[in-house]
Structure formats: C-alpha cells, structure tokens
Chains A and B, each alone.
Chain A
Amino acid sequence: MKRLGIDRADWLAGGTVMAIGLFTLLEGMSYPIGTTRVMGPGYFPVALGLVMIGFGAGIILVEGRKRQSTPMPKFAVRGVLAVIGSMLAFTFLIERAGLAPAVFTMIMICAFAERNVRIVRTFITAVVLTIASIAIFVVGLKVPLQVVSW
C-alpha cells in the first residue's frame, strides 16, 4: 500500500518518531525551561522533541522516496503471543509459585511460537532448562530464589 509514492512502513516509522518527539516536547514544556545560560530541566527535552519531529519528517520525505526491495514483514501474531505470553506467565508465577514452575510453564508456552510444535521435544527441553536454571541461578550464583513455593 503506497500513498504519494511513500511506502507504508515509512509513513508509520516517521509518524511514530514524530509522535514520540511531540510527546517529549509537550512533557518537556511542563518543566521549567530556564535560559540558554542556565538551562532548566525542560530545556533539553524540548530541544530533543523538536529535533525528533524533524527526524520523523525526514524519514517520510527522504527515506520514503527510496525504492524498497523488500515489503514490510508481516506482524508475527503467533510469535508475539507465544513469546510475550510466556514472559507474562513467568512474571506472574516467579514470586507466587517459585522458579521451577515459572520456568517450566514459560518454556511450554514459548515453544508455540513455532508452527510445528513437537510436544515431546518441548517437554524434554522444558525439563532440562528448568534443571539448568536451578543449577545456574540457585546453586551456582546463589540468588535467593524459591525453587517451589506454596
């Protein structure tokens, strides 16, 4: 999809940068700006925000005009759900259930990032990695982590 001969990835990229720049500018303006001689906490963020808005425009106007050989890759819904999901599971379980259940659950979920999940191989990987994580972090580095907590 192209608008004005500029690739969608470039519109989005430039727009994102300009949005971050605008946010930085507005947030920076809520702090005292000071003077050039004695800068306040807001001076640098405001300047940076302005510069970023310029860079965002540059992405659209300059980089958008270059011919792209490869189209924008598709958003890997499966990969994102599996990887971020597994991390959420880890975050949820690490203090409630302990290291072993957290790591085991995380590996089992994470493996679903691949299209052809091989359950037996994943199970073995999860067991091995759970043991490895206990060996490295609890036994080796002596991090105060509960292996299993009730």
Chain B
Amino acid sequence: MKQIAADPYPWPFDGAFSRENTAFLILGYQQRAVDELAAHPALATTTELLERWRDAGGRTFFSRRGVETLSSARRWRNERRQIDRILRRGAPGWALAVEPRDNEPVVDHVGDSAFYASDLDHLLRRANAKNLIMAGLPTDGIVHATMREANDRGYECLLVADACTAHDQAIHQGILKITVFGNGLFGTVAPASVVFEALA
C-alpha cells in the first residue's frame, strides 16, 4: 500500500506499508467513553475504518482500560475524576463499543498507556507490526499516552484525527498539533478520508 499523505510527512517514513508490517489499534473505545465524550461520530469513523481495514486483510488490536484494584494515589485521583474515570473490569460502561472478531486480540491495560503492564508490545512484535494506525478515546488520555509510548518504543505511528476525540475540541486539536510538532514529535496525523484513499 502506498504511503499515506499525512501531516507532517508521508507515512510511514520509510516508504510503502503493508498489511504484514502494519497494525490498526483501536484504543479505549469503551461504552462509557463513547457516551461521556459524545463520540458517536468518531465511533462511526472508526467502525468504517475497521471494516475497510478488514477488507484489506489488515490486523487489528483492541485496547480496553480497566482495573481490579488501584494503588492508593491512583485510586484517590481516580475517584475525583469527573470524566475519564478508570473503571473496574466488568463494570457498566467498561465493555468495548466496537465488537472485535475472534482473531482480533483485546489487550487489557491498567493505565492510560496500553503498553504499560500489558502484553501489547509483545503481541505487536510477534506480529511483526512496526507501523501503527491508531484510533481511540480520549485523544488527550489513552490515545496520546499510548502513541507517545509507541513512539519511544520505535513504532511508526499514524493517528486518525477524526477517529478520536476529547471532552474539549481545543484540547483535542492541541494534542494533534503537539503530536506533529517539528517533523513529527510523536508521529503523524491524517483524517480518515486520506487513509481510505490509501486503502482503496
């Protein structure tokens, strides 16, 4: 597949990508997050992207944040959160809002970064996925934390701008701008329409 016309450079940096070296990550698309962020448009975009990616034979990984117990400082902070509260596994709103297929792994994670204390890195390396296309909720929470850590780990990342959102559009846009600062501080950004062109 041809490079995607992303901001600030055609993605991936080293030329064409393929379904063999690329994975689609759907991060934190859980029912509570969709509701409290009114993320139904972003969910529709993500679902369409997922369908086209499946049609292209691409592999998809889902992340799902939740805990059994939180350490004390985290519990204290979490209880005073008005939104983006870390849910107990199985609690109302914890379930995914997009249905994975049997061959699409779901990675449970306890923090904002889906890499922390999870098998995500292991799964991606086993799958030889060095390029990551990302969708998720919220932009400034799970999405940015995971993209930031993916970048430190050497993955080449593309965030699909309209497949994620935040409680505040100025903050959503601010995170996208920080992401591409310089020549891609944390990676690249493109709208779904541009990704669709590359998959067509």
Partners in one complex: no
